Amino acid sequence: MENRMHSITEIRTQMSGSNNLSCVPTRNEFGQIHLDEQEFLEKVRTYVLAPEELYTFGFPVEFCGRVRILHSPFPFASYDQNKNKKQERTNNACKSKFEQNCARCGCSFFFPCTQYLPQDKCYYHFGKLKYQSVEGNMDSVFTCCGKPFNAKGCSVGQFHVWSGLENGVNDNLRGFVKTQRTINNWIEPGIYSLDCEMCYTINGMELCRVTVVGIDGGLLYSTFVKPEYQVVDFNTRFSGVTERDVTLNGITLPEVQRDLLSFINEGTILVGHSIHNDLRALKILHRNIVDISLIFPHHLGYPYRYSLKQLTLNCLHKHIQSSDYGHDPYEDALSSMELLMWSIVQDLLKKTNNNN
């Protein structure tokens, strides 16, 4: 545990108020914030999602003693490689197989309980759809290859993959833990930014790396995580995680949960971009959430979200996620914290200008 996080004593020292929040780098970078620690904490709390919003936006929540997630997959058009094929689906065949929609290309595929079937490869676009002028007309194209929304995928996966959640309400989920109320009044709740990387397994998306950053931009916790189920795709293009990483350095999800809950309590404010995905993968129930993707709503409205890369470029004028070896979770977590600071500064400047 010592290799993946500072000692609990060091973290509690930070939470106890020994850090002067007016001097942390992430705040100085955007100008002086003339707030004391309590005023600053109250300002951050104005960004915290309401309980009913947590459920609406897909966070894991507790309902009548059970864990519930509302899963609303983003509606996207894709090239269906099976659209011209006749698939005979007899009742006997369907008894031992489950039908899912691929999380990358949208195609329907079947797999049994224990292993994937050798089916057609997955042709998908790893980029997002954006609107741009094509031959004088506004059309949606993929950022990865510039092709229109109905074009065949520009990347190939050996298997189709799925999220691990059914469309709609997912109920009575297992393995979740809940942040607890602290019994030590001298411990401040803390404000942390976290970022997780996920891989695809036969049971859906699972955690393979997690990083937590403090309000001063310092790295608090980072570790690789061993997925519980057989891995289908490590998603290395984005996660930067390889089989070697988790085999040699990974710990189990229960160990990660134990580590995080040793310094994250019920009052802690967790910050992240589309952080509902992170808490799903961590299997942690928590109420005090600031989601950067919702602070800066997309001009087309929900469920569209601006990417962390785009927000960081537009607001902070920084380029992130430019490596060919996958995302840097520390860079992503730090960017989320900096975007929160930037938003607070803008709100204060707007208030000052209105008063003048």
Task: Average pLDDT across each block of 10 residues of the chain; the chain has 356 residues. List them in order.
Answer: 53 40 42 73 95 96 94 58 38 51 84 59 85 71 86 89 90 94 75 96 94 94 96 88 95 98 96 97 98 94 91 94 81 96 91 77
Lookup result for tokens 């971009």: 273
Lookup result for tokens 């369907």: 94
* 199 within 8 A of 212, measured Cβ to Cβ: no
Beta bridge partners of 168: 71
- Inter-axis angle of helices 253-261 and 275-282, nearest 10: 110
CB-based burial label for 295 (10 Å; 0-12, 13-18, 19+): middle
- Strand bridging mode 168-171 / 66-71: antiparallel
Give the per-residue pLDDT at 80: 46
Q: How far is CA 193 from CA 10, 97, 285, 329, in A?
A: 17, 40, 16, 10
pTM value is: 0.84
- Strand bridging mode 250-251 / 219-225: parallel
Report the distance separating Cα 226 and Cα 220, nearest Å.
20
In total, the chain counts a number of residues equal to 356
Q: What letters, b where the CB count within 10 A reaches 16 and e where it falls short, cover 236-265? A: beebbbbeebbeeebbebeebbebbbebbb
The whole-angstrom distance between residue 102's C-alpha and the CA centroid of its chain comes to 19
* 308 within 8 A of 335, measured Cβ to Cβ: yes
Q: Within 10 Å of residue 302's Cβ, how many Cβ atoms?
A: 12
CB-based burial label for 135 (10 Å; 0-12, 13-18, 19+): exposed
Report the distance separating Cα 273 and Cα 295, nearest Å.
10
Give the per-residue pLDDT at 85: 38
Q: How far is CA 269 from CA 52, 118, 132, 192, in A?
A: 17, 44, 38, 6
Report the distance separating Cα 274 and Cα 194, nearest Å.
11
Report the distance separating Cα 214 and Cα 191, nearest Å.
7
* 222 within 8 A of 4, measured Cβ to Cβ: yes
* 340 within 8 A of 271, measured Cβ to Cβ: yes
Compute the half-sphere exposure of residue 260: CA atoms within 13 Å on the CB side of its CA.
Answer: 31
* 266 within 8 A of 179, measured Cβ to Cβ: yes
Closest CA to 69 of 261, 293, 283: 283
Instruction: Report the amino acid identity of residue 273.
Output: H
Closest CA to 110 of 14, 202, 234: 202
